[in-house]
Chains A and B, each alone.
Chain A
Amino acid sequence: MRKKNLLLWISATLVYLFLYLPLVLVVVFSFNDSKLNAEWVGFTWKWYGKLLHNREMLTAAMNSLIIATVSAGVATILGTLAGMAMSQCRLRLLQFLVLSPIAMPDILMGVSLLLLFIMVNMTLGLLSIMLAHITFCIGFVALSVQARMSSMDPALVEAARDLGASPWRCFRDITLPLLIPGILAGALMAFTLSIDDFVITFFTAGVGSSTLPLQIYSMVKIAVTPEVNAVSTLLMLLTLVVITTASRLSPAIFRGE
């Protein structure tokens, strides 16, 4: 048997520390009774209390939730269709359209969508943000569904067909139930991607359609305040729950991407 490699373990542990210490710091300082994020003074809830009375922040949170729910919903339907089509036959164009948005820098999608929306005289706002978010979410849902499809046993559908089930019945009673975990995981990913997106939202948002990341950006540009720590902590908590659930539902999609 191979021995556990000590050097490997130490370096890996250091990398984990590098990944987590900054985030822990954000959480810790969100409970700190000092305006400066510099040293520990005492425990307080007051930054969370302040958040509750911050009108702009609450509106932004509401906007973020609406956008993420609608975008994730639409992207899940379109992404599931794309994923099913992709796993059943090689459609070069579809594959290209689904995968390229994932491979391009965000800023390009942001500015090109801005050009499109302005060209068709669309007012920038919640709708333009949703249309943009759906665009980059489709690929992630499609990949999740495709991964699930390829792990499915084709014999099941064939058997049902041989026993006289119609294609629709095959889909409803066999394919769809088996796909559900992949679809749900994709939907949760889309929801998180939408809630978290900053770059594409930055270019497609208009007056009065601020989202949480945009709000955080404008606060951070001015000054570092513990209120940002508090809202960051809440966002992290939300992501933690959603992503842990998604990875339970479909562990495969988080690996060989």
Chain B
Amino acid sequence: MQGKAWYKYLLSLPPMAYLLIFFATPTLIMLLASFRYAGEYGGLAPWYLHESGRLTLDLTLENWQRLLETDIYLRLFLKSIGYAVATTLICMVMGYPLALMIARSGRKNRDFLLLLVILPFWSNFLVRIYAWMIIFSPVGALTRMLNGVLGLIGMGPVTLMYSPTAMLVCLVYVHLPFMVLPLYANLEKHDLDMLDAAQDLGAGKWRRFWLITWPLSLPGITAGSILVFIPVLGMFAIPDLLGGTNGIMIGNVIKQQFMESRDWPFGSVLSMVLTVTAVAVVLLGSWLGRRR
């Protein structure tokens, strides 16, 4: 139909303009800022130099060189990726049975069971971290019980708080629904007749799972993994509150550069590396999805 096309573009203009200003532009500013000098009092130096009345944009590679000078930042990135991989794997192991159970239960229960997964996911992020601060607290029941048992077999008291374990448990807790929801969406669409057919042909329970359900669910696992991996990679609140001094991730250093050290150019360098990593993960995921 004629005349229909223009109004669609008209519809898309306001949101497009908003996102160009408040999403695309800031990302470009961040890219430019990574090639800028720090200001005298922190932050960024003024964008233009007024030399002999001319405006010049004055850029430097200094910040990027700083990234490569030591292996501190490389190791930090690897550590963050390690946490993200571990969280993704644990979420997969815990989320799969849950998603499968929901997908295989009766139509009427399904929505309710799914809502039960969504509710904690929508409750406040900090509240969910705080809950684990209570559980891992040195005066908490869990720590005392554990140390009671350890005391009996003559082992020293341990602290759960501010440990990599505490961090990992909380990372899994916060991101688990991101794995369950796409997995469920995938598992729900499976044709159950295939499983019946396999059973009629004599395939056992595990064989049916590994040969039918598992391969069919791979797209769901890919989607869930991306949704877990990326937010964990940029996390700073959980290491900040539960990780202690050894539990620093790349997000903490970015936050530190922007808020405490106020070295914005270097903060922008680290943020750009994080952006590129996240984009690479998304592209890898969609490539895997298309290949199948």
- Is A100's CB under 8 angstroms from B43's CB? no
Query: A240 to chain B: which residues have CB within 8 Å?
Result: 119, 123
In the bound complex, how far is the Cα of B275 from the Cα of A215, in angstroms?
29
> Please, which residues of chain A bring their CB within 8 A of the CB of B128?
22-23
Interface status of B22 (Cβ within 8 A of chain A): yes
The answer, yes or no, to whether A31 is at the interface (CB within 8 Å) is no
Nearest neighbor of B96 in chain A, beta-carbon distance: A11
Residue interface bits A217-250, CB-to-B below 8 A is 1, else 0 = 1001100100010001001100110011001000
Shortest B97–chain A CB gap in Å is 4
Q: Does A98 contact B (CB under 8 A)?
A: yes
What's the nearest-Cβ distance from chain A to residue B170, in Å? 9
Question: Hey, which chain B residues are within 8 Å of A16, CB to CB?
Answer: 98, 116
Contacts of A236 in B (CB 8 A): 123-124, 127
> Quick check: is A207 within 8 A (CB to CB) of the other chain?
no
In contact, A8 and B97 (Cβ under 8 angstroms) = yes
Q: Is B44 touching A113 in the complex (CB atoms < 8 A)?
A: no
CB distance from B262 to the nearest CB of A (A): 11
Contact of A254 among B27, B181, B195, B282 (CB under 8 A): B181
Chain B residues with CB under 8 A of A142: 15
Whether A220 and B15, one on each chain, are in contact in the complex, defined by CB atoms closer than 8 angstroms, is no
Contact with A along B80-116 (1 / 0, CB 8 A): 0000000000000011011011101000000100111
| Contact A9-B255, Cβ < 8 Å, known A23-B120, A224-B137, A257-B185 | no
A79 at interface, CB cutoff 8 A: yes
Which of A29, A97, A167, A195: most chain B CB closer than 10 A?
A: A97
Q: How far is the CA of A2 from the CA of B194 in the complex (A)?
A: 12
Shortest B84–chain A CB gap in Å is 10
B120 contact from A19, A97, A134, A235, Cβ within 8 A: A19
Shortest CB distance A214–B (Å): 9
Which B residues form the contact surface with A (CB < 8 A)?
Answer: 5, 7-9, 11-12, 14-16, 18-20, 22-27, 29-30, 33, 43-44, 47, 94-95, 97-98, 100-102, 104, 111, 114-120, 122-135, 137, 139-141, 173, 176, 181-182, 184-185, 188, 192, 195-196, 199, 205, 226, 230-231, 233-237, 241, 251, 254-255, 258-259, 264, 267-268, 271, 274-275, 278, 282
Q: Which 3 A-B residue pairings sit nearest by Cβ, starting from the closest?
A: A105-B234, A22-B131, A112-B26
Additional 14 contacts, C-beta under 8 A, given A26-B134, A104-B278, A135-B18: A22-B128, A22-B132, A36-B139, A37-B134, A81-B11, A101-B19, A112-B29, A115-B33, A134-B18, A198-B124, A199-B125, A203-B258, A235-B127, A257-B185
Interface residues of A (CB under 8 A from B): 2, 5, 8-9, 11-12, 15-16, 18-20, 22-23, 25-26, 29, 36-39, 77-79, 81-82, 84-86, 88-89, 91, 93-94, 97-98, 100-101, 103-109, 111-116, 118-119, 131-132, 134-135, 138, 142, 167, 192, 195-196, 198-199, 202-203, 212-213, 216-217, 220-221, 224, 228, 232, 235-236, 239-240, 243-244, 247, 251, 254-257
A–B Cβ pairs within 8 angstroms, 8 of them: A5-B205, A15-B95, A109-B26, A111-B267, A116-B22, A118-B44, A240-B123, A256-B185
